[in-house]
Structure 1
């Protein structure tokens, strides 16, 4: 007589009354609260999407800043000095590394013929400006032609806001430190505008020779001289080597250095704060 194997009894479901209180409450919430759970999942998805979007925008801004670093700076490496120009010895060291263009900036009062005046962001450039990019003027003309000396009178390119504020037009004159300057065009755009930071007045673009003729550069005046080194084909290692050579030769010069891979630290810091705030 063959025996039969007995099948194990299947576990019987535990009556709800015997479940722990927390599990009973969870089951009750699941039976009646699935709609609310779907809303919760939707909120989580929306939050993740928002954070991803903010991060993507910040990455795009940072990437754009890196790609346009050379145009923003007007060069590949810049060295700035406040309240003084580079000495001949310091300039010789910079010139020995790469072609250099010089830009000076300061605030000044532009006075029109009728006596009205306005604070301007004065920018003085050398013969190589703009070394990177292009400046647009109205009427169109090379910047060097517009700001050159003609018949003993230097020219300037003015922000349209300055023309409106003082009621001027192309061909009129303003004085800087009592020195007459002829406005020969309106400034539509300048390639290195972002690198100049926030201005407190409209732009007035002149030559370095005109700036020196005004007498505004003197002890106690708040000005900045920037020297832009042009190394368009150099890689990051070459830029680092050039900067190391300058720092070694001029350890006490007090230069503020920026390179094309970090063209505007203030803007980069603003992007970081923007990302943290929105996140």
Structure 2
């Protein structure tokens, strides 16, 4: 047969199969399979993205550069070039004083843009609770209930840290990255980074941790991560939520495995549906269903 005859032969076969009803069932099975696979894949992708975004709130950023010394200005310049939002913090242990009382506390000086992800929750002096992304004003501090109790203070009073006299403007109820600090088991105090130099607490040899926090669009964050990863020096590390919080990493891995199993089951069911749709239907032979004899039928 020439090409034209083969084409006509294929067309007549297609029409005969369509009249028999098998192609309709196969087409319906294929549509259902593709729809199911697409829906499950889309759902799994959205759930994984949601989990990643929610977990990033525990880091207060998408990626954090953690160092034992101030980072060069080039790091912030690269992040800004990529269109990322920036914040920073400096954490260190120090003594806090109020009258004759003193207590070891974990101090954290934060920039005005803190936090980039998540929210802080603070009880103000008038008893109201404020939640959102904001930092203490210059000259003010937030402390937790443990420090208030040890120093026998109330909201609206003052305490001393280094050369600073800070007004206690709020009580810390929730802090996105509070669990990441090395000294998070001691009472906490958060103040504005603009007051850090005046405090005189950072000296040569101070055991402080400097964090540069970045957040933004996924591709830009990944580009910064690759750039920073190739420039890490001793005493510096690059953190995301899975590296900083092992328990979150375990939860995310279990969620990904579950979503992967759900996707695989959908693929298996879809394959079974397509296979059943293409199975021959019971009934008389196709040659008895009407229609003209086709070239080559006598060979069967």
TM-score, scaled to structure 1: 0.62
Three-state SS of the structure 1 residue aligned to 2:146 is helix
Structure 1: 5+ residue runs without aligned partners?
A: 1-62, 272-279
Q: 2:58 corresponds to which residue?
A: 72
Task: Give the distance between the partners of 2:95 and 2:107, measured in 1 at CA.
Answer: 9
1:147 aligns with 2:151: no
Shift, 1:64, TM fit: 10
Task: Give the distance between the partners of 2:249 and 2:114, measured in 1 at CA.
Answer: 28
State which of 91, 116, 125 in structure 2 corresponds to 1:131.
116
Change in CA separation of 1:222 and 1:197 when aligned onto 2, cut-off 3 Å: closer
Q: 1:245 corresponds to which residue?
A: 227
1:160 aligns with 2:145: yes
Change in CA separation of 1:103 and 1:164 when aligned onto 2, cut-off 3 Å: same
> Any conservation in 1 of the 2:116–2:214 contact (CA below 8 Å)?
no
> Any conservation in 2 of the 1:105–1:225 contact (CA below 8 Å)?
yes
Structure 2: 5+ residue runs without aligned partners?
A: 1-48, 252-300
> Any conservation in 2 of the 1:65–1:263 contact (CA below 8 Å)?
no
1:112 aligns with 2:98: yes
TM-score, scaled to structure 2: 0.58
> Any conservation in 1 of the 2:178–2:184 contact (CA below 8 Å)?
no
Change in CA separation of 1:193 and 1:200 when aligned onto 2, cut-off 3 Å: closer
Pairwise CA RMSD? 3.1
1:85 aligns with 2:66: no
Shift, 1:167, TM fit: 0.6
> Any conservation in 2 of the 1:70–1:263 contact (CA below 8 Å)?
no
Change in CA separation of 1:254 and 1:121 when aligned onto 2, cut-off 3 Å: closer
Shift, 1:87, TM fit: 2.1
Aligned residues: 200
> Any conservation in 2 of the 1:73–1:263 contact (CA below 8 Å)?
no
Shift, 1:92, TM fit: 1.9
Shift, 1:244, TM fit: 1.5
Shift, 1:117, TM fit: 0.4
Shift, 1:125, TM fit: 0.7
> Any conservation in 2 of the 1:119–1:200 contact (CA below 8 Å)?
no
